[in-house]
Structure 1
């Protein structure tokens, strides 16, 4: 082939294609080229391509340009491509911008022995690596070569890679090492190339096989969950990537934790141990194929949570930080996950105390209650407790898997002022000048009763001579004295009586009651009965003196006559005093006129108190009527006893005294 550059345009090309060759042994292609112009300008470029199995030409394996004198130059080409593969040599001449001179090729020979001027490459083997690793190609050249000559690794698309290292194995052997990043897109055919002015050497195409490490398509399947373990099925029947799978592993971590662990798995099911209760875990399967970097990315994760475990133990450190009469402020150790072993838990504070049930048997009722405590709280205030009472408290830690209760701790609330003495417990017995009062201890003593305080004051009296309200008096009683005898009181007087108990905290509420003393019979202010003032055949005149009311004013005066046989005389009786129905010598108030005229005595007059403001004479037998009673004239032949009696009526009670 000859090209006259002056007759062609810049950049025009001429090609010479040899027939396809498929050789079984080492051989050498030899040819001569001519590049010359008279003025020394370059006539153009001459390039040589090796096309394998009808594929792309790739990059030029040898090229020359410029003017090399008016002579032929011999070049050798060592192609290490053998049957059943075939290759084709393509010569390309391109015209330069100077457009002067000649480009020629001649004497193309196929020799059945190795080249002398250039080396031959040993067979380049396929390289299989996993994606993400570096593939290493080693090109071994035998023959005439030096370390200074360029060694290249050419990809089928023409991209070339420079050698990372060149090593002389012997005086005739060199090894060039190439590193290719083996990503998925880098899978292709590669060959070794070296060139010099003497020619070029080209190896066979070797395949870079990039395997994708396997990854499961589906996440593991949960078979069973426990507090500290998860049993899973690997679920690796379907994968993305390349096999074979030579190792299976599981990678797991807590969802909220940065750390992870990897365990080798020898079966299709696996039990992941030593997990934390009630914790969410992400579990993925790792598959590994042969070769470095053969472990694929983790498969889709199984997101699962372990079950809660029973609380580690009961809560401790239950103490009272503040004790008051009606409340307790309690605290205990802080709560932590290592104690609850579950994120879903509750804390209950349970307490009990006894309270009087009422009745005479003295039985006690027990109050029990459990209160819920807010999460993350380690203190609580119990309110509305009874004072001075033993309160038994315990803590309960509960989660879905179990419950732990602490030992019961007893606290005692402080004393408080006592409750009031029950008004219905106040019982009393009134007399005319005394009252006996009795009471019971308060139902809610709220502590130790140290004393009772009793106050009393006259507030009302039926006796006009008594000044009311009277002075208020106070008496203190010992704790075991629940009674008192009031003395020196006024008859017929109402007293306001109060009773209250006391503890170390003070007095409680006051119980009030009103008690009225009984009235007394009226009294006469003289000892001896005076002698009659005068007598006649049918009358006797006596001196009547007024009586003094005690607790109630005198309601009426009565003159009673008792007949005796014998000569008439007046017998003076001694002063007598009687309460109705007592059986003394005084005479009861008659219920009718018939009763007023009995065989033994008769009522001869009834006088109102207003008629007797002072000592006044009265004639017995003056034949007059006094308040319905006939003052019958006396019989001169009979003896008479004349009685004078005073009557006081108060609230249905009648008392009288006589003389």
Structure 2
């Protein structure tokens, strides 16, 4: 062509096409009768978060193309264009001699009605009377969104009394809206929502969503005064039942629940309304499991359409629940519940109807004819009692004199470096071990030997005790326990702050006073063997459930921030975050300050710093919180920054399978069987830390290093905040050896873990943040043990009961099970008996020579005494612990029947070999850094050689250490094929490389 065509002329512009025209093309321009006209176009979509997801011609969102045009056609159209988009057009004139291009012409297509909001972009959050909708802009806005319109109406309800909305209600919202709450809705009702967007061209197609509000619990009518209690006998109480008002769903059932109260809690609980009872428990199941409540009756709604009287304890059965007679000498609370059930949802409303107190035995009028005999009997009994009291007092005086010669030495190993105290230490150690041996061997005679070595109730409580009530054993406080603590302090090799005149941070009551460290072993043995009052009864005396308000946690906007609906933060002790400017409700996190210090004060800055290193005297030394959920990760790091915390203690795994995993074998096999157990896994905590670096809101968390050990992992991070010129170091201590259900088999690893955290936390740092999954059970155990170890070291006493009680006043149900409560005692006892046995490498030589030196007075060494302690505190395996090894089919696989592996440590064989079992006499052992790093086994028997090599193969062993001599002439190796290489080392300096076939 002679020249470049002139710019295109735009004839018409619409939303999805452009009509073009051009100048007349004569021969003077084309220079040829044969020529072609091509229109080329290209465009880039407007940048929006949603539209960028569209797949265009390529990943960048740009599309282009060329269209051959008929020069003689009356209309030339470029179609299939997106609305509201800048399109670049140019004309190309081509003949056999070459081509010429026109200048680019840029034109914007018109807007169009928007596309629908995709259903996956609409999320509904229902409550009982409100539904909150969240949405995003349509994938195809086709212009500038000017507004949204939402219509809604009720379509059906579980409650037939609900009047449905007809016609639909309309709500118009501005263009920048993405969330809206619809209030004053009816419970248990399904609403249909239609949402659509609009541009200047009008509204697009709507998206439809049906959402059902949650049902509400039925409303029970309140009672005035004692209106509910109609009549009472020794074994029954008649109460007035009133029908409930349904809200969102019909009443499904009425339930009468009986809760037995412990004698010393009856007066306190008489006027306190209890929580609702969700799971039905029959009288028989409650009796067998030890639960304090049971369902006495369940009534269908048709039986309670008008107020009626009902007798609790009438010995009848209602809907499968036995209404058992009440025990005359016990105290009960009677509860009335109304339940509504719809599909998978259930709501319960409960009310405490009445309190039934214990009934005194009727007075017996003596027979005058028998009075003489009674007087004689009373005189004889009185004489015997007096003689018994005299003997008991003498025994007590002798015992007190004898026990003054020794007491437990706290952290005994550290005494080795005090040469002037070595003799005293060994003497105390010998007495302590002898005492332990007597305790384990004569547990059944504890009551007879030392009836007064445990405490007694105060005079008022004792004099009013019913004849059949158990006597609560508690330890007698030694008036000189401060001196005893000072004596223990001299045994320690670390500096100690002496706190003469400093009171315990919380008051110990007469019913549960503090226990001397010297009496702890005897107290624990007594509580484990007592038939009247033991750990079970003591744990059940704790108040269960909510004991303070938690209004903030119950707010609708905070519900998703709680992992469990029943473990949430009390208002009075919750951690209040600094709210964000755009969200006034962002001050909530499911976390509580744990403070048992009272008014801890000191006279100088130096003393205050030392005091504050101890959890039991430092105000708010801990924060107990749940394992973060996805929605609260940012809030968690906000709390760490705000509270200036330097240590995070994590006492859960991210995912657990609901079985004990603390033993080496179970930890290793949980990895091997992970694919099989995947369906039963439970997410216990969201992974809130990065593997490299990650930004959470305005916080940047950077991974620095990790130190994996057998039972815990230490991770180090740096924490930065946008706008702050500060970089903080945060350490996470992750204890991996605690199962979700149950407790660790040994406390040794946890005690080492606690000591590591203690020495790593800077004195000026903020609270230690402790969490498990719910932030109650294992979290409570950790905090109680840490506090009590400080208290034992500082005062020579422990007060576990009142410490747990204090924790429960700060956060609900801290220390959740009786098993955990007993474990706390065992852990503190182990710490007091064994102490810190780690020795710095640079001091090992000197420490070793001190430990093997024979004391002239006791003719024993510290090493021997320590080994004797180890043997005494290590429980011997019971038959039930080695049940697999004791199976008849496995007897011939054991070289010695008194040396069997416990079930929890067994490495089960995986490779199948005919009819042989998966058992081998072996046990998995931890190393310092790696769980299940060793397999300890007997020398193979002739019939277990195959099993031995199966074990080597299944667990990928590359080294075998043999510590017994062997006759090499009798060794025969059959080598047929090789697929694994093993190195063998023996104590006879024999080494060889063999191939296992």
TM-score computed with the length of structure 2 as normaliser: 0.33
TM-score computed with the length of structure 1 as normaliser: 0.49
**Larger helix fraction of residues:** 2
**Larger strand fraction of residues:** 1
Q: Who wins on radius of gyration, i.e. which is larger?
A: 1
